[in-house]
Amino acid sequence: MNRLLDCINNKKIGDTPIWFMRQAGRYLPEFMKIRKQNTDFVKLCLNSDLAKEITIQPIKRFDLDAAIIFSDILMIPYGLGQNVSFKKGYGPRLDELQIDILTKVDNKTFTKNLKPVYETIKKVKKEIGKKSLIGFVGAPWTLFLYMVNKQSPKKNFNFNEITKNNALTKKLYKKLEEIICVHIKNQVDAGANIIQIFDSWAGLLPENQLKDYCYEPTKKIVEFVKELNIPVICFPRGIDKNYGDFCSSVKPDCISIDYEVDPNWIKKNIKTSVIQGGLDPKILLKNKEEIEKEVRKYLDIFREQPYIFNLGHGVLPETKPEIIKFVTSLVRKYK
C-alpha cells in the first residue's frame, strides 16, 4: 500500500501518511558521519552512492511513507553553469550571474551536468519498494532570487532592487521555467513518482506581485507535471492567507502549508487541494507532552479531509532522532 499516493490521488481520509521535509540531514548522526568526511556539499549531492545512502537513512530508521531525494534546489543554477558553494554558518553563495552564457546552456548539457542526481533516484527507487519517491525543484521566484542576489535574501532583500533590470528578469524567468521542467522530467524518468515545488521565499514578494512572480510561473510548471501524470505538491512558504488565492490559481494536487498560517483558516478556505504539513519544527525541540498536543492538534483539525502529516518547514539540526520516531508513532496510532 502506498499511503501518500493514495491520499493525494484518491483523496483517502484516515491512515495519515507521514514524511518530513529535510528528513535526510543534519539531525541524524549517520548523516553527520558522512558529511564530516565530505565537506563540499555540492560534490556530496553529486555522489550518487552517498546521496542514495543519505536519502534512505530516515526510511530505514523510521519507516516513513516517502523518501525525498537528497539534493538541493540550487542544483539547477549549478546545472546551468552558475557556481554554487555552501559555507558553514553562512549558507549558499553563488558566483556572478552571467545571463547571456547561462541562457545558452541547452537541455542536453544541463542534463549531463546533473546526471549523478538522476542516477541517485534510480538507485533509491530500487531499494525502497512501494514507498513514494519525491523529486523536487525550486520555484522560479526562489531560484531567481538566489541567482540574482547570490546568497540568502534573509538580511538584504529589496524587491525593486532585485527586479530593477527588466530585461534580465524576463530572460532569466523564461530560462528557469524551461529548465525546471527539464529537471522535473529527468527526475520522473529516473523514478520519482511525486514532485514537490519549493517556493521558499514566496513570502518576501509584495502582495501585488504574487500573481506575476509566483502564481503564474508556478502554474505553468504544475500543468507540466500534471501532463506527466505525476502528482505535484506546492510549498509557497510565507504567503499567509494568500494560500487560498494560490490554490485557486495554481491548482496543485497538494498544498504544503507553513507554520505561520492558521490551520483552521486553511481547513475552512482550501477545499480543492490535499493539505500537507504545518507543524512548527521548533515544537519538536520541546518535551513529549507538548509535542503530542501539537501533533494531535493538526491531526484533529484535518481528520475529516485528506491530510499528509509533515512540518511547516524542514527538520531542525537540534532535533533528536527519537523525537522523529515518537511523532511517527503518534501519527501511525492516531484514530
Residue 319: give its domain's CATH number. 3.20.20.210
pLDDT < 50 regions, the chain: none
Q: Report the alpha-carbon distance of residue 235 to residue 113 in Å, rounded.
A: 26
Cα 153 to chain center, whole Å?
Answer: 18
**pLDDT tens string 86-126:** 987 778 999 999 999 999 999 999 999 999 999 999 999 99
Can you give the pLDDT at residue 313? 97
The pLDDT of residue 8 is 97
Distance (Å, whole) CA 284 – CA 324: 8
Pairing of β 91-94 and β 84-87: antiparallel
Q: What is the per-residue pLDDT for 87? A: 82
Task: Give how many domains the chain has, as a whole number.
Answer: 1
Distance CA 270, CA 272 (A): 6
Q: Which helix (H) or strand (E) holds 234?
A: strand 232-236
234 backbone dihedrals φ, ψ, rounded to 5°:
-115, 140
| Rounded (5°) CA angle 193-59-198 | 50
- 8 A C-beta contact, residue 24 and residue 70: yes
Range of the domain at 178: 3-333
Cα gap 137→218, rounded to integer Å: 11
pLDDT of residue 1: 64
Helix locations, the chain, DSSP H: 3-10, 29-37, 41-45, 48-62, 75-79, 99-102, 107-113, 115-127, 140-149, 159-162, 166-190, 210, 216-227, 243-250, 263-269, 288-301, 321-333
CA distance 235 to 14: 22
